Amino acid sequence: MTIDKTVVAQPSSGAMLLVAEGVQAGARFSLSGKSTIIGRDPSVDISLPDDVQCSRQHARILSLSGHFVIEDLGSTNGAPM
């Protein structure tokens, strides 16, 4: 007889950004706080220094009343979702 075991993982505390394509595909970043800036510049909250499609300050993710909004910061390639 076989016994199946189900493991229930606890939900993570907070939202995560998952990089779907590009040099850092598969990388996960925690979204904490009200505003998170993404770009190549090392001073931003989520730095993607090797991604040539990404501007120095590419986009901002805002947490507003339990929802997330992405704002393009004037990037050359836009911020498609």
Between the two ends of the chain, the Cα-to-Cα distance in Å is 48
Q: Which pLDDT tens digit goes with each residue over 16-75?
A: 888 888 888 899 998 888 999 999 999 999 999 988 888 999 999 998 887 889 999 988
Give, in words, the CATH class of 32-81. Answer: mainly beta
Per the structure block, which two tokens stand in for 40? Answer: 């190549």
45 against 77, higher pLDDT = 45
Whole-angstrom CA distances from 58 to 35, 47, 54 are 13, 10, 6
* Rounded CA Rg of the chain: 16
> Token digits for 77?
């390639």
For the entire predicted model, the pTM comes to: 0.75
- Domain regions of the chain by residue span: 32-81
